[in-house]
Structure 1
């Protein structure tokens, strides 16, 4: 663990450099920073200003404290709250542009101060102070120390309370869920706290009230709550949370969001969020049963026709997740999914980031499914692999996905293949050359390329 130092000790070291060693102030400051860094001291949260100067973060916090000296006792009029909102905005700007400022603010009591001030904002005042407070809080919550302070300061209950009281106000909902997303990122304890406060039921209610309203941070909050990103935890509870989200109908609400198609401002967010909820075979099949696959395939077609790369990528990624269910694989292929994907690749043949997603879903559809592999090659997956590998040799992830796809296309029953483009034609068209080049060029391609060469039946596949 890195050693820590107090602000007082740091300031004293700088003064010693000036008084005892005769250094200039700027030299004394840089020497202190350099010396402590060499000693492995963590300077996060330490104000590293020249002697006599004050950090803008500290000035902002001092102003907030001065603006509301009787915050815990006396009522405050709207004019004061408007001034406080300006200070909230200033703090947010400082912390958003530099994480070092967020660390300084956290170490100097900003989270406790903002939680206390936010909880005192009256319902009768304008929404500006509340929005500013939430946006500032979201910028402060950047590590487990700040999120831990947020929990101790009763932050989760305060935020959920405001969200419950403002279910009709999209701006407050968006800012409030921004705090939920920031607080729960990397913190399993905060995820649990929000779930205990029934954030899932609140989200379901809000999604029922506001359909396709563009509440971006609501989707971010769901995704974060379902992401196992706390390294301190051996067994995360997020998979249980995902099942709970699906059980109360949020997966169905997300599919409804997709049905609006490319006209919906929530389409990309809904795709990413639905992918986070689809954590097991049962949920994947349930999404299909409510028309999810039909809807996604339609969005894929629309994205190609309208040239929308963002939608194309997230829809392919979501389809890959749902294809983890063997039942869904058959449905996707049966509904013409292979042809739609190859058509999409022709629309975006100049963008390897889209092609790699298409290859990924074809690879999943072909895994342990010889009939699907046959359909894929018949649709043109082999040509897609060769052309893309030739055209984008520097696209490491696309090259890897291409190797994985080729492997899944040829691994099962090569001697009895019933589709016209067999492994001999693949080899004759030079696919071995491109696979070997990817293996030599990109470290992340080595294993996938070796497997592809082996299952193509070439000699020296491990070289």
Structure 2
């Protein structure tokens, strides 16, 4: 774990280098940075300056903006001119934290109290000041990037304040988008913040907003669902997000998401909506309920459309979600009955030079053929054995494509010995051994594929 260090301690070390060791300013600064880095100190957010020569605001533009923002908040009289000035400063702050040096700027801002200042602004602003609140929330989402910042957000009662704003500003799409961006950013990697939002019934709020068709394209709402349901906090042994996923499904969020995919979601938001629905589909019952509400038919139509429009992002997200739904045996049959094998093969022909799409399709077919000799036989008839061979030949440097081809080959031959001869005659052994030699991460998948092809020296 990195050692925490304050700005004051850093400045003191630079000063000691100059006063006690006689170093010149630049040497003293460089020595302090090097020494603390070797000691494992966390220098993110530290303004690297020579004390006395320049203020933090002069060295870092984000400190200057933050100082001006704090001063404006203290002096603001609530006039339109004051409001315009605050919004301008908030927008400048957000741009600095989203720029090429955004990560470092955000860390500096967090060390200098930006989270507390923005949460306080959101708490004190009037509900009708929607433009100010939206800018403040957007700025807040731009600085919530790690556990240190999200913990400050939590301790400042950020979740409650943001939920109050979302409840009160549910008629303003810009405010909703900014607010749900904070829900997503604040929950990322922080199990306690997720729990806080769930205790405040964010799932019910999300459902209510999604049922309003005019608000269905608030993309950050889908991002919030995905993050809330992702077990991404390494500090906890057992995450509660599986239970949250079931709660989302039980109150009807999955059903509303399917309807959104069918009728309302803009193409730019569709990948996020698919990711949100995928995060809810955590067990067989939920996967089957999504299918019963028409989810598979909708996704197959989206895949067809993505192929025709050459929309890579939509194609990948739909295939990924369909793979998750295919984990249910009942859904496997529905996908195949709806012409899934043929449609997926058409998709690969439209993206023949894109290994990312091809590996998503192979992943889906791997799931569909798992423990199903009938599906494996049908997949071979459709041409998926040829797809595996051609993909390995065409993309030798793509680790994931090679690995996924090996996994698909396993399922095509594991219970279908007649398929082994076909694939071996097409050169599968040589390609698999090449993948094993080139890519260490392919070793397990490759050796298992060779074994299921009936070869004795499968580890060689």
Residues 1:263 and 1:148: Cα distance change in structure 2 (over 3 Å): closer
Aligned 8 A contact 1:257 1:266 in 2 = no
Seen in structure 2, the aligned counterparts of structure 1 residues 40 and 264 have a Cα distance that, compared at 3 Å, is closer
1:236-293 residue CA offsets vs partner (Å, 9 max, x unmatched): 1111111111111111111112213886443222111111110000000000111111
1:26-69 C-alpha deviation (Å, 9 max, x unpaired): 22111111111122222233221233222323222221221132
Equivalent in the alignment of 1:157: 160
Q: Give 2:257's aligned residue.
A: 254
**Cα drift, residue 92 of structure 1:** 1.7
Please name the residue that 1:60 is paired with. Answer: 65
Match of 2:366 in 1: 363
Q: CA deviation at 1:404?
A: 0.1
Q: Write the distance in 2 (CA, Å) between the matches of 1:113 and 1:304.
A: 47
Match of 1:69, SS state, is: helix
Contact 1:301 1:344 in 2 (8 A): yes
1:100 equivalent to 2:104? Answer yes
Cross-structure match for 2:445: 448
Aligned with residue 196 of structure 1, among 199, 209, 218: 199
How far apart, CA to CA, are the structure 2 residues paired with 1:240 and 1:46? 39
Tell me how large the CA RMSD over aligned residues is.
Answer: 1.7
- Partners of 1:44 and 1:100 within 8 A in 2: yes
Instruction: Determine if the alignment matches structure 1 residue 425 to structure 2 residue 422.
Output: yes
Q: Are residues 305 and 41 of structure 1, via their aligned partners in 2, closer, same or farther at CA, if it must alter by over 3 Å? A: closer
Give the aligned partner of residue 113 of structure 2. Answer: 109
Q: Which moved more, 1:19-28 or 1:293-302?
A: 19-28
1:384 counterpart = 2:381: no
Quick one: which of 133, 143, 146 aligns to 1:143?
A: 146
Partner of 1:91: 93
Deviation digits for residues 289-333 of structure 1 (CA, Å, limit 9, x no counterpart): 111111111111222222222211111111100011011111111
CA displacement 1:86-135 (0-9 Å, x = unmatched): 2212222222232222222212211111111121112333x331121111
The 10-residue stretch of structure 1 (365-374 or 89-98) with the greater mean CA deviation from structure 2? 89-98
Q: Which moved more, 1:427-436 or 1:256-265?
A: 256-265
Q: How far apart in 2 are the matches of 1:261 and 1:348?
A: 26
- Conserved 8 A contact 2:97-2:105: yes
Cα distance in 2 for partners of 1:89, 1:24 equals: 38
Paired residues, what number?
A: 453
CA distance in 1: counterparts of 2:157 and 2:427, whole angstroms: 63
Q: 315-324 vs 265-274, which deviates more?
A: 265-274
Q: CA, structure 1 residues 385+212, in 2 after alignment: closer, same or farther (shift >3 Å)?
A: farther
| Pair 1:83–1:278, CA change in 2 (3 A) | same
Offset from partner CA, 1:396-447 (integer Å, 9 cap, x none): 1011000000000000142xx4xxxx22121111111111111111111110
Cα contact 1:212–1:264 (8 A) shared by 2: no
Q: Distance in 1 between matches of 2:29 and 2:244?
A: 49
* Superposition TM-score, scaled by structure 1 size: 0.94
Which residue number in structure 1 is paired with residue 335 of structure 2?
332
Where structure 2 has 5 or more consecutive residues not aligned to the other structure, the ranges are: none
TM-score normalised over the length of structure 2: 0.95
Question: Any unmatched runs of 5+ in structure 1?
Answer: none
1:19 paired residue number: 19
SS of 2:74's partner is coil
Distance change in 2, residues 1:253/1:211 (3 Å): farther
Name which of 299, 303, 306 aligns with 1:300: 303
**Whole-Å separation in 2 of the counterparts to 1:141 and 1:336:** 44
Residue by residue over 1:315-366, the C-alpha shift from the partner in whole angstroms, topping out at 9 and shown as x without a partner, is 1111100011011111111221111111211221111000000000000000
Query: Is residue 455 of structure 2 the alignment partner of residue 458 of structure 1?
Result: yes
Q: Which of 55, 62, 79 matches 1:77? A: 79
Higher mean alpha-carbon deviation, 145-154 vs 197-206, is at 145-154
1:263/1:156 CA distance change after superposition, 3 Å: closer
Q: 1:302 to 1:427 in 2, by over 3 A?
A: same
Q: Does 1:208 align with 2:208?
A: no
